[in-house]
């Protein structure tokens, strides 16, 4: 099993690129953002609980996302590997993920970190808001808060994997297809 983290600030292209990487390399794509939005869309108790947290640009509590990921990993025991998109976002999530994988004699092979300039992040998210209807893309204040939360709580996760020598910076500026090729070159080293 080979496992990758696609990492970066909001709007860096994690979701966009993860879908394509999963398809090209026959991996299972797990996005905690998509899972949470599905819960909101289905108006489940969990969805109702996280709706306002996400709309404010804050992180959903660790126990919720860790449980969601654990159940998806369990249900896809046959997978050749996973692309984790938007998870882990805190060091506690990272340690929980490492334990989950270790229990299955697996590990994270590489963290792919998309690097994108601040103004470009804001531009992408504001333009997605026009079509997605996502509450958390809708105004600049919330977008800036999401980037701030990333710097405070999520950026330390990159340092965690850097110490494990699993960190790979990828230029996330430019055409989606060019970025995809850069990511693919890194993934191919492990497949």
Residues 149-178 that bind ligand B4P (CB under 6 A): 176
- Select from 72, 126, 128, 124 the least CA-distant residue to 100: 72
Q: Which tokens in the block code for residue 7?
A: 């990492």
Among residues 22, 30, 96, 136, the one that binds ligand B4P under rule CB under 6 A = 136
CB of 81 to ligand B4P, least distance (A): 19
Q: Is 72 in the site for ligand B4P (CB under 6 A)?
A: no
Query: Quick one: which segment of 38-46, 85-93, 95-103, 182-190 binds ligand B4P (CB under 6 A)?
Result: 85-93
Residue sitting closest to ligand B4P (CB): 33
| Contact flags string 6-35 toward ligand B4P, x per CB under 6 A | ----xxxxxxx---------------xx--
Cα torsion through 142, 157, 93, 101, rounded to 10: 140
CB proximity list for 133: less than 8 A, separation 6 or greater: none
Q: How far apart, in whole angstroms, are the C-alpha atoms of residue 145 and residue 120?
A: 15
């Amino acid at each position: 099993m080979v496992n990758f983290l696609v990492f970066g600030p909001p709007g860096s292209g994690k979701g966009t690129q993860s879908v394509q990487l999963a398809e090209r390399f026959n991996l299972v794509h797990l996005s905690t953002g998509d899972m949470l939005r599905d819960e909101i869309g289905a108006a489940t108790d969990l969805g109702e609980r996280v709706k306002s947290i996400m709309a404010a640009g804050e992180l959903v509590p660790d126990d919720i996302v860790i449980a969601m990921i654990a159940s998806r990993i369990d249900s896809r025991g046959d997978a050749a590997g996973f692309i984790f998109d938007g998870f882990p976002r805190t060091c506690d999530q990272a340690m929980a993920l490492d334990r989950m994988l270790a229990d299955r004699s697996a590990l994270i092979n590489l963290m792919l970190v998309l690097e994108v300039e601040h103004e470009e992040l804001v531009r992408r998210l504001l333009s997605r808001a026009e079509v997605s209807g996502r509450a958390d893309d809708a105004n600049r204040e919330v977008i800036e808060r999401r980037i701030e939360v990333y710097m405070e709580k999520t950026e330390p996760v990159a340092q965690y994997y850097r110490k494990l020598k699993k960190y790979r910076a990828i230029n996330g500026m430019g055409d989606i297809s060019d970025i995809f090729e850069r990511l693919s070159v890194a993934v191919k080293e492990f497949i």
